[in-house]
Chains A and B, each alone.
Chain A
Amino acid sequence: MARLSLFGAICLAALLSACASAPSRDVQPLQTTGTLPYRHYWREGDPVFVRVQASSADALLLAEPDPWAEPLALLEYGQPLTVLDESHGNYISVRTRGLGVEIEGWVMRGTVGIRAPLLSELEQHELERTGFESAPDATAPPVEGRPTEDGSNDLARGLARLDEHEADLNRLRGGDALNPDPAITRARFRAFGEQGGLLGD
């Protein structure tokens, strides 16, 4: 009986030892490439990065957790923010620093992610202009090349048409063709709703 107990103990020890050596699934590390680009739940103090560009009306820090709240500041693509509170459904309370001034406000949950995005040289320049440092070695390869390897002239022609289309849209949204302003864009969208009597009483 004693031998049996000893045998059982060895089995248990072997089981625990083998299981302990299995690779564990760590919690997603922050700020590194090679992890999920977002995480649904944040903790206070988590660093996050803006994932949208100035052509998006979401690139704004809002005064309240409301889609039509007053914009407090423009957000740059890749701008680091610190999570303060995530208990308001689709909105996250964040703190950021623009031109040396700390400011707190709200962003949509999807607007930010835990992964520092790869920035083009132009985007990196824009971010640094506003006083932020981009993550080291985070320069993106040129995505805006043209397909040449398969001789796909059709795609190249389509992309050229889209360049014109997007420049027109930026201009029509009330900003510069190349440097759109999300605050102006958002104001235009709101005015569209007001003029159509869509915002109600």
Chain B
Amino acid sequence: MKIKVRKPRFMSVLLVACLAGCSLLNKVAESVNALEEMKVVDNLEPSEQYYLGRGVSAVIVDRYKPIEIKDQRSERQIQYLNEMSGFIEIAAKDVTRSARKLGDYTDRSFDEQERVYNLALYKGIQVGVLDSDEVAAYATPGGFLWISRGLINMCNNEDELAAVVAHETAHIILDHGMANYRRAHKQSIITSTLSETWFSGSGVGANFGRLCVTLSEDLFNGYNPGQEFEADNWGTRALAASGYAPDAMVAMLKRIEQHEKDHKVDPEAYLAHHPPIGERIKAVQDLIKQENLKGNTGTMTPDAIQARNKRFEAAFK
């Protein structure tokens, strides 16, 4: 008897649970659709990323004066850097963008990984030089790359400068700037801000200005340690794919390490945003060894190295 009584009760509870569950399912599905609508703006088109990067660059060039083309020397320097970055970007097209293959240093969601695979640059990479002795480089979303005169002066040859360019290009190609912004700020902020910016028809307004300033502050604070390791990894692979010596990344990191020692940079402040440089050097050395990375056949001949160093010195020394 007990069984006969309890079964209908159990089934009633099951029915109520099913109906409640389906109602919940409706709500979940609606939320998923709403989230996908939000991502429409979050998934920025290359042109939108470009305009955002342009705004961030405007903040950068207002803080640091960029070198203007006023004579043959400055023209040669800007042309040299832009041809180098364009060459590396094309030569490294087939370098992996998979977070897992790049050492598993960053935790990208499926959507973020898809975004990186499909990232395109509206106008390619555009490099500028900041007229500052500070050792700094900034890569913005949309393809703007700014390198300080101080950092260029630290490079001893073309391959080392290429290592700087490849590392910064990695931050652009792997969407590090926007990934940080998405994590630090609610998606809704970027959604509402960009909606007003791009779809109001009133041109660039105060919200756009605020967004650019916020993004540039993120940039001035530096990328997180995982992103730095990932940029070293992609950059070293890109150097090899472009025919440069992958070891140049190690040499450049060692120069920065020496610079940090010489200039007594506050280790607390430095480590707050960057991984210990010794660990970065070791990670790159391990990568070169494990993947047996080297430049193309013939790119490390004395003639080829001399040709590169000659034009490097003509431009910068």
Binds B, one of A10-18, A79-87, A95-103, A126-134: A10-18
Instruction: Tell me, in angstroms, the Cα distance from A22 to B19 when the chains sit together.
Output: 12
**B284-314 interface (Cβ within 8 A of A):** 295-299, 301, 303-305, 307-308, 311
Instruction: Tell me, in angstroms, the Cα distance from A18 to B202 when the chains sit together.
Output: 45
Taken residue by residue from 104 to 128, chain A's Cβ proximity to chain B (1 for < 8 Å, 0 otherwise) reads as 0000111101010100000000000
Instruction: Tell me, in angstroms, the Cα distance from A157 to B60 when the chains sit together.
Output: 11
Closest residue on chain A to residue B76 by CB atoms? A172
Say yes or no for B126: interface residue by CB 8 A criterion: yes
In the complex, what's the smallest C-beta–C-beta distance from B110 to chain A, in angstroms?
10
A interface, over-half SS: loop
Q: Are B47 and A197 in contact (CB under 8 A)?
A: no
Closest residue on chain B to residue A18 by CB atoms? B22
Binds A, one of B116-124, B181-189, B248-256, B271-279: B116-124
**A149-201 interface (Cβ within 8 A of B):** 149-150, 152, 154-159, 161-162, 164-166, 168-169, 172-173, 185-186, 188-193, 195-201
Q: Are B120 and A162 in contact (CB under 8 A)?
A: no
**List of B residues within 8 angstroms of A199 by Cβ:** 243, 296, 299
Say yes or no for B59: interface residue by CB 8 A criterion: yes
Q: Are A150 and B210 in contact (CB under 8 A)?
A: yes
Per a CB cutoff under 8 Å, which of B46, B58, B68, B200 touches A51? Answer: B46
In the complex with contacts A162-B58, A189-B87, A200-B299, A89-B19 CB distance below 8 A: no
Per a CB cutoff under 8 Å, which of B45, B202, B242 touches A117? Answer: B45
Q: Are A149 and B122 in contact (CB under 8 A)?
A: no
Q: Are B62 and A155 in contact (CB under 8 A)?
A: yes
In the complex with contacts A67-B93, A197-B303, A25-B205 CB distance below 8 A: no
Say yes or no for B238: interface residue by CB 8 A criterion: no
Instruction: Tell me, in angstroms, the Cα distance from A22 to B202 when the chains sit together.
Output: 39
Q: Are B45 and A37 in contact (CB under 8 A)?
A: yes
A-B contact count (CB 8 A): 262
Say yes or no for B29: interface residue by CB 8 A criterion: yes
In the complex, what's the smallest C-beta–C-beta distance from A90 to chain B, in angstroms?
6
Per a CB cutoff under 8 Å, which of B32, B33, B44, B118 touches A109? Answer: B118
In the complex, what's the smallest C-beta–C-beta distance from A23 to chain B, in angstroms?
5
**List of A residues within 8 angstroms of B47 by Cβ:** 51, 53, 77, 117
Interface size bucket, A side? 35 or more
Q: List 8 A-B contacts (CB under 8 A).
A: A4-B7, A18-B19, A23-B26, A36-B36, A52-B124, A109-B117, A144-B51, A161-B66
Residues of A within 8 A of B (CB): 3-4, 7-8, 10-11, 14-15, 18-19, 21-25, 33-38, 40, 51-53, 55-58, 67-68, 77, 89-90, 108-111, 113, 115, 117, 140-150, 152, 154-159, 161-162, 164-166, 168-169, 172-173, 185-186, 188-193, 195-201
Q: Supply 7 further A-B pairs (C-beta < 8 A) apart from A18-B23, A113-B118, A189-B83.
A: A56-B121, A149-B209, A158-B58, A172-B78, A193-B87, A199-B243, A200-B243
Residues of B within 8 A of A (CB): 7-8, 11, 14-15, 18-19, 22-23, 25-26, 29-30, 32-33, 36-37, 39-40, 43-47, 51, 54-55, 57-62, 66, 68-69, 75, 78-79, 82-84, 86-87, 89-91, 93-94, 114, 117-124, 126, 128, 158, 197-206, 208-210, 212-213, 242-244, 295-299, 301, 303-305, 307-308, 311
